[in-house]
Structure 1
């Protein structure tokens, strides 16, 4: 933490979280509080992370925010909700309507706790098939509910549905769940699998969605070995290739949570509280 001229500064890194038991809405939009608990996998920061520097000083005349090098609107309601939490008396508020006010909470009060308990059991018992099937079912139900709203919410696209079908064909060919998908609020697929299946499934994806231009950069992150695919697997799983549909694969693994950065040279802000110029 930096301390100079009355300036306090801290830098942290944070990972990407992928929910396998999702929350479906908020009980408070201002505070961004979910209506039910969720369970997520934290991806390793060696492959993907965000870096945030926060600075505080009595000399600062106003709050300012930079996102990816560009100054952003500090008045956004979500950001203001966070700032109020860390400012004096910011936490002294009362929610007028609580979660108990909302009717028909069978899913939040009954279904989700049961799923969370079951998913935790699968994880403790290292039961990948149970984990994978429950993750896929929860994802499917989430997106089915989005489609059933009025007007409907379309998060998945044609490529998403191709990947879902590919995963099911792959599992059917092997006679068990070897890969599992989940989709958050967007079309990008997250695939879970064990180490002994990575190379084979990556090759299946490569054959199903041949890279159009970036063949040498199609697989990024952790190294992936080569795999030869039997003809019977190709015939059963790789049905109609769609060239160029997948831009790239990022191979990673579970990792730690947020990390405090001790090296002052990694601060994104200078002693004046403004973004540092990067070479």
Structure 2
């Protein structure tokens, strides 16, 4: 398969492991477009900007536990879709507007808006996890401590200096 020609096939393969993995096909900032087909065949990643667009943005990934998650992403999302009314509200009401604001923040390299939107989205994602039956707990004590530390730091500075997205 020619990687340069068949991003649809690569996207489909990547989504089998984790839906959002399809975004890793490109570098930079990538939007995962839902598509309209019931089978998800037209759900595709779209590169918004390449990795050189915001070259002074630094991303650090901290692995706070080597333990396997109690609930896998795939089964967790399946349970969430079946049981969380908050997910439906989020998908229909919150996410469309938030995506537009996020695209604008990325385009303009507006770190303050980017950080606030990212943290708000992460917080709401975890609220949806808690709204699932049975509730899903992806964050651990260390994750909570890091979020608290980041919030305190940003508050003391008056504007976001860093942001955290526990997953």
User: TM-score, with normalisation over the residues of structure 2?
Assistant: 0.50
Q: Which of the two has greater helix per residue?
A: 2
Q: Which of the two has greater strand per residue?
A: 1
Bigger-Rg structure (1/2): 1
Structure with the greater relative contact order (CA < 8 A, sep ≥ 6): 1 or 2?
A: 1
